[in-house]
Amino acid sequence: MFTDFISLADLSRAEIEDLLDTADDLKRKQHAGEVYQPLRGQTLAMIFEKPSLRTRVSFEVGIFQLGGLGVVLESGQIRLGQRESVPDAARNLERWVDGIMARTFSHESVVELAEYATVPVINALTDKLHPCQVLADVQTIREHKGEDFSKLKLAFVGDGNNMYASWLNFASRIPMNVALVCPPGYEGDPEIYAAAKKDTMGEFTVTQDVAEGLADADVVYTDVWASMGQEEESADRIKAFAPYQVNADLMAKAKPDAVFMHCLPAKRGQEVTNEVIDGPQSIVFDEAENRLHAQKAILLRLMNRGDDGLCPKARARRTNGATA
């Protein structure tokens, strides 16, 4: 059983499917008006180095709906690795809270938090990965396209960024066809790509040809061309990515029943046009809703205590300590 949520590549297929089934169940409970609070009295520290709408609201509402409390720590308050070391921050927080969620620039900050904290740590976004978003995306695709991902093709149009990397991690556990459609020089992290190809029976392709990448696509996915921290590259990126804008002509190259997805926020008129994001093929706001349910599933699996009063991470550390 996983004890932190850092990368989808750390989980087995069975663990990912369990999270998805749990997210579906939690969604049904909420829509039925059922009060379900297994995390009553527990507290989640929420570290934000980057601005956030969906992550902050969905985690804060999610821990509240499960009976707990979210404590927001913004960048100026905590300054990981600057005001004090990441290990020291972890050792302090573990004395007060039952879980830590972190949205940071550096991926290593989240890895260090997980290494040194005795409470579970959730990667809510780093420059390298965004596993929470992909878990919600997968829940959304299952709702619209069914559960057999081996028959699906996702065309990721744009930068091979942290979103694309997390899609590779997912597809290395539950095989599907993932095609990156991008200009030269934006192919993403070669180590993540190589590891995913080694670990999966799915098909991964990278192409500069829009028609080739979109052919037979069931899902068309895009993201902003310049992520947070890349603002100084905006002018060059706009020029490079202009031929890859998701508009009606590009969508027409995918299957007629293809759905459009975007992790949001979107820069309308850049990576996607209004006619697509507001059109009948768009499921972007279903994705946004499912951030709440998918993340509640993560919180439940990581923070819920068993009959021994321990969460999975504390139980694993006690067991490992006993056998050491």
Q: What CATH number corresponds to the domain at position 76? A: 3.40.50.1370
Q: Is the peptide bond before 87 cis (omega within 30 degrees of 0)?
A: no
User: Residue 227 belongs to what domain range?
Assistant: 133-283
Domain co-membership, 196 together with 298: no
On whether residue 318 sits in a domain, the answer given is: no
Contact 176, 13 (CB under 8 A): no
175 Rama sector, left if φ>0, alpha if ψ -120 to 50, beta otherwise: beta
| Kind of pairing between the strands at 219-222 and 204-207 | unpaired
Sign of CA dihedral 196, 175, 299, 287: positive
- Would you call 291 a catalytic residue per the annotation? yes
Q: In terms of domains, do 303 and 257 share one?
A: no
Indicate whether 63 belongs to any domain.
Answer: yes
In this structure, the answer to whether residues 59 and 151 fall within a common structural domain is: no
* Domain identity same for 69 and 142: no
DSSP-based three-state secondary structure for 184: coil
Q: Is residue 211 assigned to a domain? A: yes
Q: Do both 15 and 52 map to the same domain?
A: yes
Domain count, the chain: 2
> Annotated catalytic, 65?
no
**pTM score of the predicted model:** 0.96
- On whether both 161 and 270 belong to a single domain, the answer is yes
**Residue 165 and residue 271 in one domain:** yes
pLDDT average per 10 residues of sequence, the chain (324 residues): 96 97 98 98 96 96 98 85 90 97 96 97 98 98 97 97 97 96 96 91 92 98 85 88 98 98 97 98 98 98 95 91 52
Please confirm, yes or no, whether 77 is among the known catalytic residues: no
Is residue 189 flagged as an active site residue?
no
- Examine the residue annotation and report whether 245 is marked as an active-site residue of this protein: no
Residue type (1 letter), 221: Y
Q: Based on the residue annotation, tell me whether 311 is a catalytic residue of this protein.
A: no
> Which residue is catalytic, options 263, 293, 295, 311?
263
Tell me, what's the pLDDT at 234? Answer: 86
Which residues in 235-255 are b (16+ Cβ under 10 Å) and which e?
eebeebbeebbbeeebbebbe
Structure confidence at residue 61 (pLDDT): 98
What confidence tens digit (pLDDT) does each residue in 193-218 have?
999 988 887 889 999 999 999 999 99
The answer on 255 and 174 residing in a single domain is: yes
Question: Given 98, 223, 245, 262, which residue is catalytic?
Answer: 223
Residues 12 and 69 in one domain: yes
For residues 155 and 99, state if they share a domain: no
Q: Residue 272 has what DSSP assignment? A: B
Q: Which two tokens stand for residue 122?
A: 């959730």
